[in-house]
């Protein structure tokens, strides 16, 4: 079978691959920049997949990895390892005070599946509630948790992914809620969660899982008091609260974890991506002392060969060093400038309904100014006339990479923490031109 549309023959089939897509072949990187095979440069304003937080080629991370390779390359996750133990302590120190222990995994999807497995093992109820307009992974369990219908549909048809329910995110678009203020939105969205818990049956529910700030589903921060109220509701109905900080953890939203400023004492946090700045695969679950005591008492019958790989853990130490040495501060110091530039971009284009985000994680929502709605909603309209990929494509041709949202009615802007004012200016100016050209 031959197909003239497939990517160049030497390219293995890419993830999230569409036959019409034209993936870049990236051969090297430095700081906020990547280079393709023809040595064209691109400002990497999506940190590849919102994960190369420390930028490309960070020497602190590389030297930790080299040292570890020289000492021992692999230790079974069923054994102890000094690098791994020290990293678990460092990660627990960065998280909120009520989290004490770490179980490592390989990917964000697996970390979420592990959190669900643990929640179900301590709770009587088995259902897990997650939000529509969310993303938690694309393995069977991760996809079942996700609110994104495209991801879910791809997996649901192949396996039973029972035991999950969904509730509405705190958003006013797409008919979720109509609220005049963030406070009203927080109250409506929290009341709705309570309604869903009551109607699913509190005793049947093990956990609520949510991203504190929405990730690829639209970088939406929680309205004030929303997360606190969610915690109260979970306490009232004896439901565990798991925060998916796979994107938002390790500085992306301006603090070590996006949930840190909020008094919500999650029972578990899942993390991945930025924990090694993506220099090697690593993920995990942060546990409350109660959850940890349960695991130590009962044991753990599952695991993965590459869970807590020592070279990945070494990369984790290097990444935390780099974040401590100023990169997380860069995010909090420079994000007001990024926010101001994005807001000015929105003012200059009536095709931008809204920009929203926190730290170095932002979404730019594109709409038809006549209707205030997306031109094409990929989950509803069966057409390839969506202008949003064309904006990304134009920006890429002019040397700036930004991400695709779920749904693809928005651009996701998430630079590495190395990004400076000049790079922010270059990226936003390029987006400005791209939007002008596409709608011109
Ligand atoms: C919030 C969130 N959770 C989980 C995942 C899944 O992580 P992984 O792709 O490492 O399985 C992602 C991936 O983008 C994510 O954004």
Residue pLDDT, tens place only, 291-319: 999 999 999 999 999 999 999 999 999 99
CA dihedral 354, 148, 139, 104 (to 10 degrees): 40
What distance in angstroms lies between residue 107's CA and the mean position of ligand 1's atoms? Answer: 7
Q: Assess whether 157 and 41 both reside in one domain.
A: no
Instruction: Look at residues 266, 300, 322 and tell me which one is the last residue of a structural domain.
Output: 322
* C-beta pairs of 188-191 under 8 Å, 24+ apart in sequence: 189/223, 189/226, 190/226, 190/229, 190/230, 190/233
Residue 87: count other Cβ atoms within 10 Å of its Cβ.
27
Q: Where are the beta strands (DSSP E) in 238-290?
A: 240-244, 268-271, 283-287
CA of 426 relative to ligand 1 center, distance in Å: 28
Q: Would the CB of 271 count as within 6 Å of ligand 1?
A: no
Mean pLDDT of 273-287: 98
Q: Which helix (H) or strand (E) holds 187?
A: helix 182-200
If we measure between CA atoms, which residue out of 229, 178, 211 comes closest to residue 361?
211
Q: What is the pLDDT of residue 8?
A: 57
Report d(CA 312, CA 167) in Å as an integer.
35
Q: Which atom of ligand 1 is nearest to the CA of 139?
A: 11
- Cross-strand partners of 364: 355, 411
Q: How many domains does the chain have?
A: 2
Q: pLDDT tens, 42-79? A: 999 999 999 999 999 999 999 999 999 999 999 999 99
How far, CA to CA in Å, does 431 sit from each of 52, 179, 184, 253? 21, 30, 33, 22
CATH code at position 336: 3.90.1150.10
Q: Give phi and psi for 130, each to the nearest 5.
A: -135, 170
Band the pLDDT of 378: cuts 50, 70, 90.
confident
Nearest CA to 334 out of 310, 354, 361, 295 is that of 361
137 CB near ligand 1 (under 6 Å): yes
Q: pLDDT by residue (tens digit) across 399-439?
A: 999 999 999 999 999 999 999 999 999 999 999 999 999 99
Query: Can you give the pLDDT at residue 161?
Result: 62
Dihedral-angle region of residue 104 (phi above 0 means left; psi in -120 to 50 means alpha; beta otherwise): beta
Distance CA 193, CA 66 (A): 48
pLDDT band for position 159 (cuts 50, 70, 90):
low
Q: Return the percentage of the chain with pLDDT > 90, whole number.
A: 88
Ligand 1 centroid to residue 319 C-alpha, Å: 19
Give the residue whose CA is nearest to atom 13 of ligand 1.
137
Q: 283: which strand partners?
A: 105
191 within domain boundaries: yes
Residue 246 Cβ < 6 Å to ligand 1: yes
Q: Mutate which of 48, 109, 216, 312 to test ligand 1's pocket (most atoms within 8 Å of Cβ)? A: 109
209 lines ligand 1 (CB under 6 A): no
Q: Same domain, yes or no, for 315 and 374?
A: no
Residue 148 CB less than 6 A away from ligand 1: no
113 Cβ inside 6 Å of ligand 1: no
Distance 70 CA to ligand 1 centre (A): 31
Mark which of 322, 352, 368 sits at the end of a domain: 322
pLDDT confidence tier of residue 5, bands split at 50, 70 and 90: very low
The token duo for 37 is 């095979």
Tell me: do 295 and 369 sit in the same domain. no
Q: Cβ neighbours of residue 63 under 8 Å, at least 6 residues apart? A: 318
Whether residues 52 and 65 share a domain: the answer is no
Q: Are 61 and 318 in contact (CB under 8 A)?
A: yes
In tens, the pLDDT along 113-128 reads: 999 999 999 999 999 9
The CB of 136 under 6 Å from ligand 1? The reply is yes
Instruction: Name the residue among 167, 142, 144 with its Cα closest to residue 157.
Output: 144
The predicted model gives 172-192 an average pLDDT of 93
Pocket test for ligand 1, best of 16, 46, 105, 136 (most atoms within 8 A of CB): 136
Q: What is the pLDDT of residue 438?
A: 97
DSSP 94: H
Residue to mutate, 52, 259, 272, ligand 1, most ligand atoms under 8 Å from C-beta:
272
Reported confidence tier of residue 160, pLDDT bands at 50, 70, 90: low
Of 287, 303, 322, the residue at which a domain comes to its end is 322
Ligand 1 centre distance from Cα of residue 246 (Å): 6
Distances (CA, A) of 105 to 16, 111, 197, 359: 22, 6, 29, 26
Output the average pLDDT for the chain: 94
Q: Does one domain contain both 48 and 197?
A: no
- Are 284 and 171 in a shared domain? yes
Answer yes or no: is the C-beta of 216 below 6 A from any ligand 1 atom.
yes
Same domain, 168 and 207: yes
The answer as to whether 3 is a domain residue is no
99 assigned to some structural domain: yes
pLDDT value, residue 155:
85
Ligand 1 atom 8: residue of nearest CA: 108
Q: Provide the pLDDT confidence category of residue 2 given band limits of 50, 70 and 90.
A: very low
- Would the CB of 406 count as within 6 Å of ligand 1? no
Q: Is 188 in the pocket of ligand 1 (CB under 6 A)?
A: no
- Distance separating alpha carbons of residues 214 and 229, to the nearest angstrom: 17
> Are 221 and 118 in a shared domain?
yes
What pLDDT was estimated at residue 153?
86
Question: Which atom of ligand 1 is nearest the CA belonging to 110?
Answer: 11
Domain of residue 203, residue span: 59-322
298 and 401 part of one domain:
no
266 and 220 part of one domain? yes
Q: Model confidence over 227-247: pLDDT tens digits?
A: 999 999 999 999 999 999 999
Calculate the CA 280 to chain-centre distance.
Answer: 17
CA distance 84 to 314: 8
Please tell me if the CB atom of residue 334 comes closer than 6 angstroms to any atom of ligand 1: no
Q: What is the pTM of this model?
A: 0.96
Closest-CA residue to 289 (of 24, 100, 70): 100
Asked whether residue 20 is assigned to any structural domain, the reply reads no
Is 211 touching ligand 1 by the criterion CB < 6 Å?
yes
**Residue 1: predicted pLDDT:** 35
359 lies in the same domain as 222: no
Ligand 1 midpoint to CA 408 (Å): 17
Q: How far is the CA of 110 from the centre of ligand 1 (A)?
A: 9
323 lines ligand 1 (CB under 6 A): no
386-391: long-range contacts, CB 8 A cutoff, minimum separation 24: 387/438, 387/439, 390/438, 391/366, 391/431, 391/434, 391/435, 391/438
């Amino acid at each position: 079978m031959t197909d003239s549309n497939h990517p160049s023959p030497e390219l293995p089939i890419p993830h999230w691959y569409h036959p019409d897509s034209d993936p870049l072949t990236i051969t090297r990187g430095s700081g906020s920049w990547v280079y393709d095979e023809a040595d064209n440069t691109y400002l990497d304003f999506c940190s590849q997949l919102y994960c190369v937080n420390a930028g490309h080629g960070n020497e602190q991370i590389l030297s930790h990895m080299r040292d570890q390779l020289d000492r021992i390359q692999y230790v079974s996750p069923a054994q102890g390892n000094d690098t791994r133990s020290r990293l678990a302590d460092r990660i627990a120190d960065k998280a909120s005070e009520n989290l004490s222990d770490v179980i490592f995994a390989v990917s964000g999807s697996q970390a979420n599946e592990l959190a669900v497995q643990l929640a179900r093992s301590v709770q009587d109820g088995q259902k897990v509630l997650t939000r529509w307009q969310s993303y938690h992974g694309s393995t069977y369990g991760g996809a079942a948790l996700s609110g994104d219908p495209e991801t879910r549909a791809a997996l649901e048809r192949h396996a039973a992914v029972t035991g999950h329910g969904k509730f509405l995110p705190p958003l006013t678009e797409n008919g979720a809620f109509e609220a005049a203020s963030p406070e009203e939105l927080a109250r409506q969205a929290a009341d709705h969660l309570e309604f869903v818990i009551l109607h699913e049956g509190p005793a049947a529910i093990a956990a609520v899982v949510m991203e504190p700030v929405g990730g690829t589903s639209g970088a939406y921060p929680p309205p004030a008091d929303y997360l606190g109220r969610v915690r109260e509701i979970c306490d009232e109905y004896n439901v565990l609260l798991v925060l998916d900080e796979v994107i938002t953890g390790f500085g992306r939203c301006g603090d070590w974890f996006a949930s840190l400023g909020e008094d919500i004492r999650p029972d578990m946090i899942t993390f991945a991506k930025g924990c090694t700045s993506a220099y090697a695969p690593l993920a995990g679950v942060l546990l409350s002392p109660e959850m940890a005591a349960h695991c130590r008492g009962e044991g753990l019958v599952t695991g993965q060969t590459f869970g807590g790989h020592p070279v990945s853990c070494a990369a984790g130490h290097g990444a935390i060093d780099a974040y401590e040495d100023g990169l997380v501060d860069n995010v909090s110091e420079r994000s007001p400038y990024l926010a101001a530039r994005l807001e000015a971009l929105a003012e200059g284009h009536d095709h931008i309904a809204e920009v929203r985000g926190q730290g170095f994680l932002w979404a730019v929502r594109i709409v038809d100014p006549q209707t205030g709605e997306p031109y094409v909603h990929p989950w509803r309209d069966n057409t390839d006339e969506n202008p949003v990929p064309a904006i990304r494509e134009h920006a890429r041709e002019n040397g700036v990479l930004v991400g695709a949202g779920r749904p693809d009615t928005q651009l996701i802007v998430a630079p590495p923490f190395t990004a400076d004012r000049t790079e922010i200016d270059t990226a936003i100016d390029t987006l400005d031109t791209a939007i002008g050209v596409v709608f011109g």
